[in-house]
Chains A and B, each alone.
Chain A
Amino acid sequence: MSGTSLRLEIKKNQTLKKIQIMHAESVVRRPLVTGGKTVHDITNDICSRVEEKPSKSWLLAITLSLSVLIIAGYYVYRLLWHGIGEWGLNKTVGWAWDITNFVWWVGIGHAGTLISAILLLFRQRWRMAINRAAEAMTIFAVICAAMFPVLHMGRPWLGAYWALPLPNTFGSLWVNFNSPLLWDVFAISTYFSVSLVFWYIGLIPDFATIRDRATTKIRKAIYGALSFGWDGASKTWSRYETVSLVLAGLATPLVLSVHTIVSMDFATSVIPGWHTTIFPPYFVAGAIFSGFAMVLTLLLVTRRVYKLEDYITIQHIELMNIVITITGSIVGVAYITEFFIASYSGVEAEQYAFLNRAFGPYWWAYAAMMTCNVISPQLFWFKSIRTNIASTFVISIIVNIGMWFERFVIIVTSLHRDFVPSSWAMFYPKPADIGVYMFTFGLFFTAFFLFAKFFPVINMAEVKSIVKATSEKTDK
């Protein structure tokens, strides 16, 4: 930025001081919303997506994801009707794709809350343009994740409620509070409900905006109901902000707790490769890593399709890429630490488990994990790569592939060769393994596309607070 333009900026900003009085912002910071958007532009840009007829590309996308949902639904039917034998699991490997997918989806579901809660507390204002979509993604990812603990049960029709601590007629029969699976039930349901409430609270002012702009009765009625009679009064705004902060405070520990508890499914067991105290921090870092990657994958597409380049800027992408690099490095250090501890422990089975990961029959999964998770995010040290949309998109997908393999490596390669060599076996996926995974993809994208069409994809109310312009159109 040249000296004169900087001065100009300062001048402009001084005139805006009054509007921004609540949010002290350094004048030298780059603007978070570009393109000289006015507050009215924001309303128009976001609401018009909801108001106008669905685009062809949206129709194509929803058709595709619905088709995947329905076709892959056949495998869910087979699984429920015939039994878990439809999957490729066996006497030795009792979990494979099911729990891999579960952990993977839960991990993806971490970015939303991190962005909306932790970044809110840290006053990272760049989060405002992306938190809505990220939270939506969180909710859908958690729904997809929650499918697996139910579907993977031998008797889901009973397990779906026996796993809850409900009063029952079985006498003094109670759930087993020692079991990490039960902790999962609590962790995930809490996380899901808090995320959902948080997300919804944030949506209310925006729903009200759509309601107020509504031209049809039906839309007015629906968004009117969804906005819970939002009146835009100062007091309402004040309550809204307070609730947001309270929920952010509540959600923050959940970001850490959910994956910590998921990791305890493994960490509290006796199986070499699972029985590891490093898992909680390592899983949380991995979850944020994959969550940010997924947010990027989705936003880069949404940004392009909905022409939101001015709201989700290169700066956003760059900041997220930096988070990916940091968490990816933490994960990489964790992988190496595991190896060191295995060697240092002097435990034969533990040492074998890690050698087997790297050099055994599943070496390719381990290699995929290492390449995708440790090496690929290091490319973001180059500014040209981390500010490039195409390379970001590719790496974001690679990271998610890598994180899927990480869970696969932890689960399958630890189980397939544990203590007793006579039981060592391989796991081969069957069509239903792939089918049920695809089903959750169908579900996720169907939900996400519906969200993108009918909900405001960007938090208008918040973004308006950071726009560096008046409601009048300014010259650039």
Chain B
Amino acid sequence: MKNNKKQYWKGLEELTKNPEFEKYADKEFAEHLPINEESEGDGTNRRDFLKMMGFGIAAASLAACEAPIRKAIPYLNKPIDVDPGVPNYYASTYLNGNDFASIVVKTREGRPIKIEPNTLSSLSGGGTSAQAQASVLSLYDKERLSAPQMDGKETTWGDLDKAVSANLASAGRIAFVSNSIFSPSTQAAIDTLKAKYAGIEEITYDQVSFSGTLSANEKSFGKRVLPSYDFSKAKTIVTFGADFLGEWLNHSLHNKQFATTRKLGPNKKEMSRLYAFESNLSLTGSNADYRTRIKASQQGMYVANLYNAIAKKAGAATVNAGTIEDSANLTKAANELWANKGKSLVVSGSNEEQVQVLVNAINNLLGNYGTTLDINSSDYTRKGDDKKMVNFVKDLKSGSFGAVIFFNCNPVYDHAMGKDMEEGLKKVKFSISTSDRKDETASLVKAIAPDNHYLESWNDAEPVSGKFLLTQPTISNLFNTRQAQQSFLAWAGNDATYFDFIKENWKNTNFTAQSDESNFETFWDKCLYDGVFEVKATENTEAAQEAVEIAVDYKASATGSGDELVIYATGALGNGSQANNPWLQEMPDPITKAVWDNYLTVSRDKADKLGLVVGDMSTKLANLTVNGKTITIPVMIQPGQAEGTVGLAIGYGRTSAGKVANGVGQNAYPFISYAGGFQNMAITSGVKIELTSEEYRIAQTQTHHTYMNRSSVVQESILSEYQKNPSAGRAFPMISTYHGKEKPGNVSLWEGHKYPNHHWGMIVDMNSCTGCGACTVSCQAENNVPVVGKAEVLNRREMAWLRIDRYYSSDAPEGDLNAMEIAADQPEVTFQPMMCQQCNNAPCETVCPVAATNHSTEGLNQMAYNRCIGTRYCANNCPYKVRRFNWFKYHDNSQFPENTSMNNDLGKMVLNPDVTVRARGVMEKCSFCVQRVQYGKLEAKKEGRRPIDGEITSACATACPSEALVFGDMKDPNSKISKMLRLKDGENGLEVKEERAYNMLEEINVKPNVWYLTKIRNKEESNA
């Protein structure tokens, strides 16, 4: 066949293979067509034109309709531990200034996104503070320096190191200024630097100083350390202005310890009693059973009087204490302290040496050393020496220092003598700061060697003697920064990496202090894995706690009749070092519920004297003058403020912390006095307040402060009543029906939902919730809750899914509704965490026209964001007002620059990929962390088992140091929640046998899955 194929020629030309013909043989038109020639001159022809036009139109229309492409680049080689979609957890330690927390860092695809508590550590109480929770956002702060700087210009690390080494070598006296350092390896690194440059003098200060206490302890015990406290062993606690639940020492742990003493149940009907003597209403004071308002200048007298009362009972020498006006609570406290010898604790927030010696003596007479406080188990987190610092500033001003190194501190902002330092720095030849940003101090120095964020760092810590923590990096450096300790090593000429340095250090110290592991690498890996290493307590601590004689002497300081300014740190912003963190700025102050501001807290009486009339979030500005320095600051009326005192928070008034913090509030540090060599946060003379006529608005998330005696909202009683009847304080609403009065739960038109598998619920123990607010920040981080800024909070549009309602009691007679709106001058305080109650008969679900909010088979009230059309009917019909609406587009919107976690590429790295960032116009609310529930269930399913109780828990409950929030499956009879509620299967579903448990607004029968436990105060009378 092949051979048979006939061949035809187009013509002779083909047969002869004419080259002229062959050239065009395969063309459609053999003859040479002139189409291309016409336009050969200018290079385009008709076809090209059409092609180009077609392409052009297509390209133009494509470009017009296509969204910008964001590239997701897959791993070429997948890192062995990183699985997309699967979180990794690393034990680490949060370190910031003198604050610390033992944490577990949750990372997703290599990005740290959430801080969880490390329950292996005995130092954090299994919870975290708000600051630790928020610190993950500070990692992604755009204001951090991206490279080292010399004389305000970016430079390389090599050039910087050369300059530093040269300058330090010729500097003479070198000051090394820092906050308290309790990291042994950091100290060792500094020591190598000191070894190289002999002129280095270490100067340590703390924003809120414990210098007086340290001196007192040195006097009493010969040790310049702080004791570690154990509030959990105390039956009677007396605090004189020490806000141990707020911003005192290790507050996370103290919250936990205190909360344990406040838990009640069928098997525990005793709780501690807390007496507070203070000027400002602190978090501790608001949790006190008996609170006495005292002037700051009287604190010493009160302590001395208590000492005398105890000393009389103990037969010890008394001091000349002077007389106090209101001694009822003090006498009562003294009697109970004595009755609870060895099970009591007295603390004071005073920084006066003689007062702290008295406190030591009281605790000593009460035999509390060794039980509720332990000087041998020393707390190293505060080492600041006020006298040294004051001398440093003097010397700096006189020009006697050749160089200054600022490490882990920002004294120009957060020390009273910041202004003097600013002047002094001009006289110093060379100065370095290791600040991560160009803060108030760093902007004045010659060289900035930006430190890593702690989440990028290796480090260790020994906050309490023998209890070690490790910090490990969870992300590589985001910027061209270098860990400060590494810089010290480099300047000291040590080539080792800081990682090796720590390891070596641990090999020589901690490894030898233990005997469980013989191989160092195994030991190190275990410590790193745990994040914790604790030297086993030796048994001889008891023996060391021999009764000591403490010599006391007391000279009452003069008390004036003028106003006293009491400076404090808020539970939200603390000392202000993380002020550029919008989560903390928008976290409501636990007491005042104000955000984005500091203000002068005054008593109602003082406000009346000033002629201040406040409106709905509006007030007036006042000029506050203290010893010649004046600031203009808004005034807030604060129930519980002691007469003759005003309060002002530190942490605000930053000028170069970053866009979020700059200009927020006023700086209170310059008012702090160092007269007599010790820091004094209370200014007892020379305080002048003049009200101006200028209006000012303070944004508060709660503006109505009393609960109007609504027993459907807050149910409370006192301990003695509770002991008689566990349901004391409970309200039992009844519904009148045809058959007589019925419980609301028994009257329903609906059959109710059936929960075949799980039924999630939560307990909120109002007795152990101290109101610290750590849960709210944890919720914000977990659920991508936007920050809306002050203006929008003023519009009452904060987005928090979880809020803590703080109620003051009122002195008004029952029935006088207008008077009941006004809080008492000495109020009882109730904290009530409020989140979506996940009602079984949810009023929001029935009213949504598009069924965007609906009920899950596990009892969750769920939101389908992409179905929501935003009628807000659900929010209106929510009796708990927990639903939050996206009034604007909060992400990728330059109108909300404060919302850094959604408005810049770096900030967005903190977002939880498991939770949608909500669009404008949709409703959102607490989901009971449904993403965690689903994750936990899937993990269990993969292993072919049911979830174990405690495995699945909400973000708020994990953060809570007090364990006031308990999340779990009410279908699981062995879960903690089932046991605490003592659940029984009843006719109408689950029946709760725990007498203290109640549903809020039971009478409207929405059947929430959140159970509140009554607030029980340890008082003798229900209103005292």
Interface residues of A (CB under 8 A from B): 82-85, 88-92, 94-95, 149, 152-156, 158-159, 162-163, 173-176, 178-182, 185, 265, 268-271, 347-349, 352, 355-356, 359, 415, 417-426
Contact = CB atoms under 8 A, between A and B. Distances in A.
B888 interface: yes
Given A84-B870, A155-B870, A348-B712, A91 B921 contact: no
A422 B870 contact: no
A155 B876 contact: no
A468 to B, nearest CB: 52
A84 B843 CA distance: 23
Given A85-B887, A88-B795, A90-B796, A420 B867 contact: no
Interface string B606-637: 00000000001000000000000000000000
Main SS class of interface, B: loop
B921 A154 contact: yes
Interface stretch (B22-30, B139-147, B999-1007): B999-1007
Interface in B687-742: 702-704, 706-708, 710, 712-713
A418 to B, nearest CB: 7
5 contacts: A90-B797, A159-B870, A175-B851, A270-B1006, A271-B879
B851 A176 contact: yes
B807 interface: yes
Nearest to B803: A422
B797 A421 contact: no
A155 B872 CA distance: 11
Contacts, number: 178
B817 interface: yes
B875 A91 contact: yes
Nearest to B876: A94
Given A162-B850, A271-B877, A419-B712, 14 more contacts: A83-B887, A83-B921, A84-B872, A91-B881, A152-B871, A153-B871, A154-B868, A181-B848, A268-B847, A348-B712, A349-B710, A420-B834, A421-B807, A423-B880
B872 A179 contact: no
A420 B846 contact: no
Given A91-B796, A179-B846, A418 B869 contact: no
B850 A159 contact: yes
B506 interface: no
Contacts of A415: 876
Contact residues of A: prevailing secondary structure: loop
Question: Lowest 6 A-B CB distances belong to which pairs?
Answer: A154-B870, A154-B921, A159-B869, A85-B887, A90-B796, A422-B805
Contact of B847 (A83, A89, A181, A417): A181
B873 A154 contact: no
B752 interface: no
Nearest to A185: B849
Interface in B196-221: none
B704 A421 contact: yes
Given A94-B876, A269-B877, A349-B712, A153 B1001 contact: no
Interface string B857-877: 000000000011111110111
Interface in B883-933: 883-889, 919-923
B698 to A, nearest CB: 15
A443 to B, nearest CB: 22
A421 B710 contact: yes
Interface residues of B, number: 60
Contact of B872 (A154, A173, A185, A359): A154
A105 to B, nearest CB: 17
B873 A179 contact: yes
Given A91-B797, A420-B834, A422-B807, A176 B849 contact: yes
Interface of B: 616, 702-704, 706-708, 710, 712-713, 792, 795-798, 803, 805-807, 817-818, 832, 834, 843, 846-851, 867-873, 875-877, 879-881, 883-889, 919-923, 1000-1001, 1003-1004, 1006
B712 to A, nearest CB: 7
Contacts of A174: 851
A420 B921 contact: no
Contacts of A419: 710, 712-713, 879-881, 1001, 1004
Nearest to A159: B869
A159 B871 contact: yes
Nearest to A426: B616
A352 B848 contact: no
Contacts of A90: 795-797
A83 B886 contact: yes
Contacts of A162: 850, 867, 869
A371 B940 CA distance: 66
A355 B921 contact: no
Contact of A180 (B710, B792, B847, B1004): B847
B456 to A, nearest CB: 37
A237 to B, nearest CB: 44
A158 to B, nearest CB: 5
A179 B880 contact: no
Given A84-B885, A154-B922, A419-B1001, A355 B817 contact: yes
Contacts of A421: 704, 706-708, 710, 713, 807
Given A154-B923, A155-B921, A420 B851 contact: no
Contacts of B920: 83, 154-155
A422 B849 contact: no
B834 A84 contact: no
A103 B887 CA distance: 23
Nearest to B804: A422
Contacts of A185: 849
A289 to B, nearest CB: 25
A352 B708 contact: yes
A181 B795 CA distance: 26
A164 to B, nearest CB: 10
A163 B870 CA distance: 11
Contacts of B888: 82-83, 85
A204 B704 CA distance: 60
Contacts of A424: 703-704
Contacts of B713: 419-421
A149 to B, nearest CB: 8
A162 B921 CA distance: 14
A352 B817 contact: yes
Given A84-B885, A271-B879, A422-B834, A92 B796 contact: yes
Contacts of B1003: 347
B433 to A, nearest CB: 41
A185 B921 CA distance: 20
A149 B797 CA distance: 21
Contacts of A417: 704
